Structure 1
Amino acid sequence: MAARVWLITGASSGIGLTLAEYVLSQGDKVIATVRSLAKFPESLKAAGAHPLVLDLGTSDSDILKAGEEALKVHGYIDVLVNNAGYGGLSPVEELDLGEARAQFQTNVFGALALIQALLPSFRARRTGHILNVSSVGGFVSFPSWGAYCASKSALEAFSESLSQEVAPFGIRVLIVQPGYFPTSFLQTTASISDLKRSTVYTDPSQGYGADQKMHERAVEQGHVGDVAKLAQRLYELVAGTGLAKSLVEGQGGKRDWLRVPLGPDCGTMILQKLSIVTENVKAFEHVWRSTDVTPERLKELA
């Protein structure tokens, strides 16, 4: 099988870097985006990855141009991994709306612009994988993480629509939902949040200091993800091998299975949320059923 070409955003550290390293170790090719060439990791350079400067906080036109440049490197791309993203910590009342918009730009609109740049090529070849890296926070919202969770929820909603739209072209869309994995994510969050810690929402139940306690809590619960294992699982989902063999569309899997929970904390929280939502909808059943039009009115509308 010919080597796949992966475009991985946010590859200077964390999940993006580890995934790029693993993909290269399997004989595939990687175009790795960084915000500046000075941040391009030596390990990727030594392994033959191609650097691409890309800041998802920039204009749509610049992102589209970066996508076009990426396609020129090998002539095509098989796998797009929208990994770049960040989050700040703030209660909704005190949220800097400019900062919220900046998170949406990087986490949502930047990713969408890059998808739009590559989709014509994917459609022409009638193949391709789009892996949008969300978070458990894209499905379960937490106090003081409102902007981040909302941006990831938006990315997930776009992914669900996109998956249905591109199905006839053989393009697969996956929503990657990591739980807690020790990366530089929390350091970035702290650098944004430390200057404006709330003096009103100061109880832990309101999310105060959540970024500072997350690692400690994860260790206590025994829920600390291994980024190397995450990278291997994602590769297997694309290749249809290993633990993912029966989960791939055409091998027993379903297109509707587009969410990829990673980490026992993530899977557990998603199941708990689903249980609460199911209970909620059933409890309100007499309410939502009461809002239908009468049979007589229905006949008039026919």
Structure 2
Amino acid sequence: MSPRVWLITGSNSGLGLALTRYVLSQGDKVIAAARDISKIPASIKDAHALPLDLNAPAAEIHSAVKKVLSAYGHIDVLVNNAGYCLSGPIEELSPTDIQAQFQTNVFGPITLIQALLPSFRAQKSGQILNVSSIAGFAGGPVFGAYNGTKAALDAFSEALAPEVAPFGIQVRIITPGFFPTNFLSRARETQPASERSLGIYTLPSQGYNSVNRYHQLHVEQGQVGDNDKAAARMYEVVSDTGLAKGLMEKRSGIRVPLGPDCGARMLKKLKSIEENVNVMEPVWSSTDVEKERLHEFVQG
């Protein structure tokens, strides 16, 4: 079997870097995309460095994809990993910062997918891994903007998967819990400046100081994700090997949770949703028109 060609965004750090290293170690080829390729470490020197800014106009992103397709002939796997976390109470966030968060975490990845889909359809194969977060499924306060971007990416992915399945293209939502990346350091950098702080979001239930405490809490709880293990699991999902062998054939959905904290939070949220829907049954079951009026809605 010939080596796969992967395009991985955000390859210069965190999960993107770990995945790039692992994929290369398995004999596959990697196009390592980063906004600043000078920050791509020597440990992945065998990858093809691609300057790619997800905040760039769509035409520039399409042009970058066209160049790598011309160089490699095809791409087998797209991993939309690049992103960052904007943090702070929603009331204190600037509209400009929120829009920039959605551009990087949602609109850029969608544009990249659109640029690659024609070639995936032509070769009748391709895998798209959209790296989301448990925050997009069960998020908490002061991460509202970030939560929103990941929830949006999840929703796009859920619609995209059945649209492209007839062309032999697979879509996965990679949902990590806590892993030691630059996520929290960037979150601290993006907190609203002191002059924007209203000084009223100071309760733990409002997420006060949670950015600074997040890492330590996981250490105290004895649960910190291993980037290299996450990379191995992601590779196994793509290659249908190892711990993931046969799992994606069980029609269990397109989400790939990573981390015990992620799995536990997802199950807790699902239970909460089920309880919510059951409690509200008197409301949601009472809003249809009467059956004797259905003839009014027959389309003829």
TM-score by length of structure 1 reads: 0.95
Query: 1:43 maps to what in 2?
Result: 43
Residue 270 of structure 1 aligns with an amino acid whose one-letter code is M
Distance in 2 of aligned mates of 1:194 and 1:226? 30
Residue 6 of structure 2 aligns with an amino acid whose one-letter code is W
- For structure 1, the residue ranges without an aligned partner over 5 or more in a row are none
Q: CA shift at 1:300, angstroms?
A: 2.6
2:98 corresponds, among 85, 100, 124, to: 100
Residue 298 of structure 1 aligns with an amino acid whose one-letter code is L
Query: 1:141 maps to what in 2?
Result: 139
Q: Is the 8 A contact 2:32 2:49 kept in 1?
A: yes
Give the share of equivalent positions with the same residue, in percent: 55
Query: 1:160 maps to what in 2?
Result: 158
Q: CA shift at 1:134, angstroms?
A: 0.3
Corresponding pairs, count = 296
After TM superposition, the structure 1 = structure 2 runs for residues 1-302 of structure 1, keeping only pairs within 5 Å, are 1-45=1-45, 48-193=46-191, 195-196=193-194, 199-249=199-249, 253-254=250-251, 257-302=253-298
Structure 1 residues 301, 143: CA separation in 2 closer, same or farther (over 3 Å shift)? same
**1:50-69: per-residue Cα shift (whole Å, max 9, x none)?**
00001111211111111212
**1:232-260: per-residue Cα shift (whole Å, max 9, x none)?**
000000000000002133xxx22x52001
1:174 counterpart SS class = strand
TM-score by length of structure 2 reads: 0.96
After the TM superposition, which parts of structure 1 deviate over 4 Å for at least 4 consecutive aligned residues? none
Residue 280 of structure 2 aligns with an amino acid whose one-letter code is F
Worse overlay, 224-233 or 180-189: 180-189
2:33 counterpart SS class = strand
Q: Is the 8 A contact 1:34 1:53 kept in 2?
A: yes
Structure 1 residues 157, 71: CA separation in 2 closer, same or farther (over 3 Å shift)? same
Q: Is the 8 A contact 1:198 1:208 kept in 2?
A: no
Q: Is the 8 A contact 1:123 1:171 kept in 2?
A: yes
Query: What is the RMSD computed on CA atoms of the aligned residues?
Result: 1.2
Distance in 1 of aligned mates of 2:68 and 2:114? 13
- For structure 2, the residue ranges without an aligned partner over 5 or more in a row are none
**1:161-214: per-residue Cα shift (whole Å, max 9, x none)?**
000100101110000110000111111111111634552101221112211101
Worse overlay, 97-106 or 86-95: 86-95
Distance in 1 of aligned mates of 2:179 and 2:75? 27
1:38 counterpart SS class = helix
Distance in 1 of aligned mates of 2:275 and 2:291? 28
Residue 2 of structure 1 aligns with an amino acid whose one-letter code is S
Q: CA shift at 1:37, angstroms?
A: 2.5
Distance in 2 of aligned mates of 1:161 and 1:36? 32
